[in-house]
Amino acid sequence: MTAIDLADAYRTMAVYRRFEEAVGAAVVTGEVHGEMHLGIGQEAIAVALRAMLEPTDAVVSTHRPHLHALALGVDPVALLAELLERSGLSGGKGGHMHLFSRDPQFMCTGIVGASAPLACGDALAQQRRDPGRVTVAVAGDGSMNQGAVFESMNLAALWRLPVVFLCEDNGYGISVRRDVATAGQLADRGTPFGIPGHACDGTDPEAVYAALGPAFERARSGDGPSVVVATCYRFRGHYEGDADTYRPKGEKDDWMSAPRDPLSRLRARLEAAGVPVVELDAADAAAEAEVAGWLEAARSVPFPDVDRVRDDVYAAPGARQGVRA
């Protein structure tokens, strides 16, 4: 297996961070009026996933989905437009927790644990048609306690489905700490089903890449599913606007300090390896400019047509006849 290109990873992670910050800012401006969950602090996982994915692979994500969509290569402008409630990926009907792309094959759900069964089905459908293709089921640490996830692991093992169960373990499900909610080790969750598990440092793209490697290889070669658990920390509240009083200040400060922040940590590492500071600064500036460009393009995407609000419930408009007052 080849190594991940860390300079490229840095550039991409800088884009991911700027992207999420731009979305956060759009909550403040009121361009987003619903709940918004950001992946700031979790960029190293997405960037390693990006390095592993082929364009024909599929990802089924969660309520914190943006970086996984970017990692798969979903059109960033269509993505951003949807987040801004414009006629983007889901026509303005889905919004940030309900993003759907056919090519590449991406979807997500607001129901915790619901990604895993969908990923199994996607893998089942593709298994014969396109051997070697992988479906990634993203999960949070909290979602690993849903029956649907256990059931899916059993199914995936039984049917040797090419699924990678990727758990982003940021230590919390809203306010509930992992040790309050979760018995045993997350990476062992597949063990009773004979599914190998790999735990890794989710703040280090190289470590995540190394853990994903055997999982993808196993899936691509038709040997079945794996579990990968990447430990990280969410830098923002559970949602934008969360008072986030349940996490100790010292804990937050520690995880978000320069030596542990995945972005600044990688930057320091590249600097130490001799990458010139100007180059890294240029990467930061390029990330800033790229996201600004996407934002401008997204803001010119039209809003959805209110007259079509009742379309898309069924295949044919008006399939459900009804008389309304």
Residues that bind other proteins (CB under 8 A): 33-35, 82, 85-86, 90, 92-98, 109-113, 142-143, 145-148, 173-177, 180-182, 246, 303-304, 306, 309-310, 313, 320, 322, 324-325
Number of C-beta neighbours around residue 137 at 10 A: 30
Please name which of 80, 116, 79 lies closest in space to residue 101, comparing C-alpha atoms: 79
Q: How far is the CB of 222 from Mg ion (least distance, A)?
A: 31
Give dist(CA 65, CA 72) in Å, integer: 11
Q: Which of 113, 140, 225, 262 binds Mg ion (CB under 5 A)?
A: 140
Which two tokens mark 275?
Answer: 């990458």
Q: Which of 7, 157, 174, 297 binds ligand TPP (CB under 6 A)?
A: 174
Q: How many angstroms separate the most distant Cα atoms in the chain?
A: 71
Q: According to the binding rule CB under 6 A, does residue 255 interact with ligand TPP?
A: no
Looking at beta carbons only, is 12 or 90 nearer to other proteins?
A: 90
Give dist(CA 24, CA 29) in Å, integer: 9
Number of C-beta neighbours around residue 29 at 10 A: 8
180 binds, among Mg ion, other proteins, ligand TPP, none (CB under 5 to 8 A by kind): other proteins
**Which positions ≥6 away from 218 have C-beta within 8 Å?**
196, 224, 225, 226
Q: How far is the CB of 119 from ligand TPP (least distance, A)?
A: 15
Give dist(CA 208, CA 48) in Å, integer: 6
Looking at beta carbons only, is 174 or 268 nearer to other proteins?
A: 174
The number of residues that bind ligand TPP (CB under 6 A) is 17
Give dist(CA 105, CA 223) in Å, integer: 22
Looking at beta carbons only, is 168 or 284 nearer to other proteins?
A: 168
Looking at beta carbons only, is 285 or 309 nearer to other proteins?
A: 309
Q: How far is the CB of 245 from other proteins (least distance, A)?
A: 8
Q: Are 96 and 110 in contact (CB under 8 A)?
A: no
Number of C-beta neighbours around residue 292 at 10 A: 12
Q: Which of 16, 165, 172, 294 binds ligand TPP (CB under 6 A)?
A: 172
**Residue numbers of the site for ligand TPP (CB under 6 A)?**
63-64, 110-113, 140-143, 168, 170, 172-174, 234, 238
